[in-house]
């Protein structure tokens, strides 16, 4: 009897660490494999041509390059089924002087698929409409004009020149302008509500819940129209301004004056900064 008890104790002592090891090596029951499908296409677009993109769930990243063509790279991703991945499509329509890209979800379905875009466009371009709903919008190294918008996410425009409007609902809007010159003429109707609301503004940056930060060269001139409901305003640039009694509505002149700079937020600060040249 003692032998059996001792054997059972030794077996139990060996079994417990083995069971713990197997448990540690086993994948979590809730772990799900991420399914990914890639899309790539390159089409011609001359300098100054029009590009637009409409996304739903996922970020949009656009950069200017020295080629007369548009290169679109997209990644569809889901932790659901392969069928869900196939239900979401990416379309590209090309015409002389314009390229349009869009993401398509099945109507009335709750398909959980994200689509992340990385796009290269000619460095001089008209970005007629760059939009997403849930995700960030990032554009850099371009000149020309355009309209950028998201609902839930940040908007970043970096190393840009020309006439641009940027809008978010829940997110920060940050613009780094190398120059307010370089526009391509009036924006078409398809440029969207952000461009229309900005009127004749050379640069328009607006959000509801988030900060607005605009960096301009030290010697730039502009007419400023800035307003925040629950936040403050500060400027590193020389500014002759009229401020409301609450200090949240600012109208004035930056430097020697020039194109209109329209800045708006409801819940957040507004900052004017000096863009620093890259070394």
Helix, strand, or coil (residue 227): strand
Q: Token pair of 53, please?
A: 């993109």
- In sequence order, the β-bridge partners of residue 175 are 157, 214
pLDDT of residue 255: 85
Say what percent of the chain tops pLDDT 70: 78
* Length of the chain as a residue count: 279
pLDDT of residue 188: 41
Exposed / middle / buried, residue 45 (Cβ in 10 Å: 0-12, 13-18, 19+): buried
pLDDT of residue 276: 72
pLDDT of residue 243: 72
Cα angle, residue 60 at apex, residues 56 and 61 outer, rounded to 5°: 175
Residue 74 to residue 57: CA distance in whole angstroms: 12
pLDDT of residue 247: 58
pLDDT of residue 187: 40
- Locus of tokens 């409801």: 266
Residue 206 to residue 149: CA distance in whole angstroms: 9
pLDDT of residue 197: 44
Q: Token pair of 258, please?
A: 């020039």
The alpha carbon of residue 110 and the mean position of all alpha carbons in its chain are separated, in whole angstroms, by 23
Q: Print burial letters for 106-130: b (CB count within 10 Å at least 16), e (below 16).
A: eeeeebebbbbbbbbbbbbbbbbbb
| pLDDT one-digit tens code per residue, 57-81 | 999 999 999 999 999 999 999 988 8
Taking 70 as the pLDDT cut, the residues of the chain under it are 1-32, 182-201, 244-247, 277-279
| pLDDT one-digit tens code per residue, 222-276 | 999 999 999 999 999 888 877 765 657 899 898 888 889 999 999 999 999 998 7
pLDDT of residue 242: 74
Give the Å distances, CA to CA, from 140 to 126, 129, 133, 214, 275: 13, 15, 20, 14, 14
Helix (H), strand (E) at residue 9: helix 2-25
Residue 59 backbone phi and psi in degrees, to 5: -85, 160
């Amino acid at each position: 009897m003692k032998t059996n008890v001792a054997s059972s104790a030794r077996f139990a002592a060996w079994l417990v660490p083995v069971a713990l090891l197997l448990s540690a090596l086993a994948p979590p029951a809730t772990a799900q494999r991420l399914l990914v499908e890639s899309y790539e296409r390159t089409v011609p677009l001359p300098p100054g041509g029009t590009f637009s993109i409409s996304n739903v769930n996922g970020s949009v990243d656009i950069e200017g390059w020295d080629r007369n063509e548009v290169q679109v790279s997209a990644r569809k991703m889901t932790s659901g089924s392969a069928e869900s991945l196939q239900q979401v499509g990416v379309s590209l329509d090309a015409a002389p002087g314009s390229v349009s890209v869009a993401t398509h979800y099945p109507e009335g379905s709750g398909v959980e698929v994200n689509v992340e875009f990385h796009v290269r466009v000619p460095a001089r371009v008209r970005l007629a409409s760059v939009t997403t709903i849930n995700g960030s919008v990032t554009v850099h190294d371009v000149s020309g004009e355009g309209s950028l918008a998201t609902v839930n996410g940040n908007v970043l425009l970096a190393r840009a020149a020309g006439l641009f409007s940027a809008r978010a609902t829940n997110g920060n809007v940050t613009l780094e302008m190398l120059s307010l010159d370089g526009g391509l003429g009036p924006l078409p109707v398809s440029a969207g509500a952000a461009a229309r609301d900005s009127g004749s503004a050379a640069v328009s940056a607006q959000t509801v819940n988030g900060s607005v930060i605009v960096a301009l060269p030290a010697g730039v001139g502009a007419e400023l129209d800035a307003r925040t409901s629950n936040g403050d305003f500060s400027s590193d640039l020389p500014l002759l301004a009229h401020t409301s009694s609450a200090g949240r509505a600012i109208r004035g002149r930056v430097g020697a004056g020039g194109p209109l700079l329209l800045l708006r937020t409801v819940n957040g600060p507004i900052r004017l900064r000096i863009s620093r040249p890259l070394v």
